[in-house]
């Protein structure tokens, strides 16, 4: 459908990728991964046609269209939200405009005149064209997409300029989804979505009638959506036929395989060189020596790709707080006539690891600011527990940095003695490499400032961390560093975020905010989602039959889609342990097949049998290996059939 033919691109004298070719099929779901600055956005722009490659070309059929969502969204203004979304249907609006002109002309023409009959035919043709364009579903499509992305019906008449940056991104995303291009190119589409909107987008893209290629640092989003991964690293792009989890396993396996091949090559070179050196001057061995020299010359070079440095960060040891870290009692908060909290009461205990989720506008960030003591409220109490020391991170924290200092000085200013030797390592974890640590804060981008502000907060010896969307500007490795550090952290924390893969291993409670209330769920985010789905299914099962019938008769397309999404989520939960076992089996099979191939290579060498004991040992291992492989294949088939059975029965 769309092909990349020998694409080459450089930036600032550095090769991003070279001679890359790939074909995007009509229903492909492709994730693009790599470190910040590796060329992910550049690749999407080349496919979208907004950037020309230095060499190579992009080929596509005439009917193929590509739609691109950039990270930095253009601000929409001058129209209502609904009218702005309607611009995605330019062809429909054009026909509707012509239809209205024709209707007006018909109203003034003489019904008995020849022009009236001709105009009536044009009117009919335009109506047929509207039907072909599915124009009569335009309104329902716009409403479904806008509400799926978190807008309310009351927002439709608001001017687009009233919406903040995150909502502007949703407007751009809505217009792109409504255009339905053949290839969707999405650059970090989840950055400004809450958990519910993110799940809606995930389900929508799973059923999208076209190809999807996306850059994202949300592991769960990539794993649930993509079937292939393009990994950009050190000037090359490698294809992996699976999602992000598959890519991680396969990348390790490929590296291990390359390492083994490199070791085998080095061993063979040493053996050959010893033979040449030993018999170089023996006339009877001259032919053999020449043969070995030629063998050396023909040996293919094996290059081990450079591996990115493994970085770990540990929080300073926090002083212990009292049993209750923070308590809000009967807190009332409003902005003008908008009531955010009416009698909010929560208790945060020592050791709580809390995820705060909910729709945008439900009060999550306001809650975080009240906890941090930087937001006032009308009534109620904020009670700080014994010896509770708070550290707070929000996006605006970047605005409080000293613009005259460099990145390293910013951390040196507040670091305790034990952390000072680790500051450059910490900056590296948050994507400040080499001389980047000496950049003045004033020249840093918004994302760089946010990362620096987060690193600064993490250095404070606090026992209560409050973080509002800390992962928005982090790549996969940086998020892993932060996640590992939080997993070992002995204090208490509250995190406002929507990244399920980041939150799941580290939180023990979920606070769900909705207008007017907060609900507390023990467990991880996945367990919270399962609990919510169970509640929805339970409510549906206990509903009276007549009431269900009436509701079913009036069900909207949006609700039907939501129910289908819930069924898919239910299937995902049911099959998760089976899929995990399949993934482990696939890894084991890959390792065994690689070992089997290596043994067969050894056994094909006549010199291998000179050491009888070693040869017998390896041959015995080979005999034991095949039955294990057969058992693994059989188990893999059984598990695959089990998943198919569950799909058919759900």
The DSSP line for 174-206 is HHHHHH--SEEEEESTTTT--HHHHHHHHHHHH
- Cα angle, residue 338 at apex, residues 332 and 342 outer, rounded to 5°: 25
Question: What's the pTM value of the predicted model, to 2 decimals?
Answer: 0.66
Pair 236, 16: CB distance under 8 Å: no
Q: What DSSP character marks residue 406?
A: B
* Residue 395 neighbours by CB distance under 10 Å: 17
| DSSP, residue by residue, 110-172 | -TTSHHHHHHHHHHHHHHHHHHHTTGGGHHHHHHHHHHHTT--GGGTTSBGGGS-HHHHHHHH
Residue with tokens 């091949």: 261
Q: Both tokens of residue 284? A: 């009877």
Q: Is 377 helix (H, G, I), strand (E, B) or coil?
A: coil
- Residue 431 and residue 425: Cα distance in Å, rounded? 10
Residue with tokens 């030629």: 294
- Cα angle, residue 509 at apex, residues 506 and 513 outer, rounded to 5°: 120
Tens of pLDDT, residue by residue over 195-244, are 888 889 999 999 888 899 999 988 889 999 999 999 998 888 999 999 99
Q: Is 497 helix (H, G, I), strand (E, B) or coil?
A: coil
- Residue 314 and residue 164: Cα distance in Å, rounded? 35
Pairing of β 390-393 and β 183-187: unpaired
Q: Both tokens of residue 488? A: 């070992």
Q: Both ends of the chain: CA-CA distance in Å?
A: 33
Beta-ladder partners of 391:
465
- 138-148 vs 165-179: helix axis angle to the nearest 10? 140
Residue with tokens 């063979």: 268
Beta-ladder partners of 24:
2
- Cα angle, residue 151 at apex, residues 147 and 155 outer, rounded to 5°: 120
Contacts of 312 (CB under 8 A, 6+ apart): 481, 484, 485
Q: What DSSP character marks residue 37?
A: T
Q: Is 560 helix (H, G, I), strand (E, B) or coil?
A: helix
Residue 569: predicted pLDDT: 61
Pair 279, 65: CB distance under 8 Å: no
Name the E strands within 207-305.
211-215, 228-233, 236-240
- 244-279 vs 557-603: helix axis angle to the nearest 10? 10
- Residue 154 and residue 458: Cα distance in Å, rounded? 40
Q: What DSSP character marks residue 390?
A: E
Residue 509: predicted pLDDT: 94
| DSSP, residue by residue, 289-337 | HHHHHHHHHHSPP--PPPPPPP----PPPPPP--SEEEEEEEEEEEETT
Contacts of 206 (CB under 8 A, 6+ apart): 224, 225, 568
Beta-ladder partners of 520:
511
Closest of 373, 365, 421 to residue 395, by C-alpha: 365
Residue 268: predicted pLDDT: 82
Residue 552: predicted pLDDT: 46
Tens of pLDDT, residue by residue over 427-471, are 887 778 888 889 898 888 777 887 888 888 888 788 999 999 888
Which residue ranges of the chain lie beneath pLDDT 50?
548, 550-555, 557-558
- Residue 600 and residue 622: Cα distance in Å, rounded? 9
- Gyration radius of the chain over CA positions: 31
Pair 268, 296: CB distance under 8 Å: no
Contacts of 281 (CB under 8 A, 6+ apart): none
- Residue 492 and residue 93: Cα distance in Å, rounded? 54
Sheet of 183-187, strands arranged across:
66-69, 183-187, 211-215, 29-33, 228-233, 236-240
- Cα angle, residue 372 at apex, residues 368 and 377 outer, rounded to 5°: 75
Q: What DSSP character marks residue 510?
A: E
């Amino acid at each position: 459908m769309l092909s990349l033919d020998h694409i080459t691109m450089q930036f600032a004298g550095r090769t991003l990728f070279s001679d890359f070719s790939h074909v995007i099929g009509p229903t492909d779901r492709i994730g693009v991964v790599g470190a910040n600055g590796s060329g992910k956005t550049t690749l999407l722009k080349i496919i979208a046609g907004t950037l020309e490659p230095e060499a190579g070309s992009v080929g596509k059929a005439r009917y193929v269209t590509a739609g691109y969502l950039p990270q930095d969204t253009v601000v929409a203004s001058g129209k209502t939200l609904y009218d702005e979304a309607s611009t995605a249907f330019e062809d429909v609006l054009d026909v509707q405009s012509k239809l209205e002109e024709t209707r007006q002309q018909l109203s003034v023409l003489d019904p008995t005149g020849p022009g009236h009959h001709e105009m009536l035919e044009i009117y009919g043709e335009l109506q047929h064209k509207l039907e072909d364009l599915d124009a009569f579903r335009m309104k329902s499509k716009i409403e479904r997409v806008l509400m799926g992305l978190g807008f309310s019906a009351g927002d439709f008449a608001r001017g687009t300029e009233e919406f903040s940056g995150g909502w502007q991104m949703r407007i751009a995303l809505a217009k792109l989804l409504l255009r339905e291009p053949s290839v969707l190119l999405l650059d970090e589409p989840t950055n400004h979505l809450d958990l519910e909107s993110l799940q809606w987008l995930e389900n929508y893209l799973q059923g999208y009638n076209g190809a999807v290629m996306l850059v994202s640092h949300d592991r769960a989003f990539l794993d649930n959506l993509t079937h292939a991964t393009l990994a950009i690293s050190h000037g090359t792009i490698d294809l992996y036929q699976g999602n992000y989890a598959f890519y991680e396993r396969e990348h390790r396996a490929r590296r291990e395989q390359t390492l083994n091949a490199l070791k085998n090559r080095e061993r063979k070179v040493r053996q050959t060189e010893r033979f040449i050196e030993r018999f170089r001057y023996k006339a009877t061995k001259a032919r053999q020596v020449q043969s070995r020299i030629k063998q050396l010359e023909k040996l293919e070079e094996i290059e081990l790709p450079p591996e990115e440095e493994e970085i770990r960060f540990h929080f300073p040891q926090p002083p212990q707080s009292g049993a209750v870290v923070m308590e809000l009692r009967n807190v009332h908060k409003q902005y003008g006539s908008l009531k955010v909290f009416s009698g909010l009461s929560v208790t945060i205990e020592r050791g709580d690891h809390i995820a705060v989720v909910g729709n945008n506008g439900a009060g999550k960030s306001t809650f975080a600011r009240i906890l941090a003591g930087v937001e006032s409220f009308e009534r109620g109490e904020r009670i700080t527990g014994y010896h509770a020391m708070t550290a707070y991170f929000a996006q605006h924290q970047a605005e409080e940095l000293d613009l005259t200092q460099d990145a390293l000085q910013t951390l040196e200013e507040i670091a305790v003695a034990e952390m000072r030797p680790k500051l450059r390592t910490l900056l590296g974890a948050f994507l400040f490499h080499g001389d980047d640590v000496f950049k003045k804060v004033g020249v840093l981008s918004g994302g760089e400032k946010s990362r620096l502000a987060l690193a600064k907060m993490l250095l404070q010896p606090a026992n209560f961390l409050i973080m509002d969307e800390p992962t928005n500007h982090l790549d996969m490795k940086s998020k892993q560093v932060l996640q590992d550090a939080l997993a070992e952290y002995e204090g208490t924390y509250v995190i406002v975020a929507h990244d399920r893969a980041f939150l799941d291993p580290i939180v023990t409670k979920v606070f769900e905010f909705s207008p007017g209330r907060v609900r507390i769920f023990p467990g991880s985010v996945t367990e919270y989602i399962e609990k919510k789905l169970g509640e929805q299914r339970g409510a549906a099962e206990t509903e009276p039959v007549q009431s269900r019938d009436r509701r079913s008769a009036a069900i909207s397309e949006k609700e039907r889609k939501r129910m289908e999404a819930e069924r898919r989520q239910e299937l995902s939960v049911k099959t998760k342990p089976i899929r995990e076992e399949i993934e482990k089996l696939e890894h084991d099979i890959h390792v065994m097949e690689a070992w089997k191939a290596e043994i067969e290579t050894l056994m094909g060498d006549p010199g291998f049998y000179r050491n009888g004991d070693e040869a017998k040992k390896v041959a015995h291992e080979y005999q034991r290996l095949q039955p294990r492989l057969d058992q693994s294949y059989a188990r893999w088939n059984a598990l695959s059939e089990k998943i198919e059975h569950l799909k058919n029965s759900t």
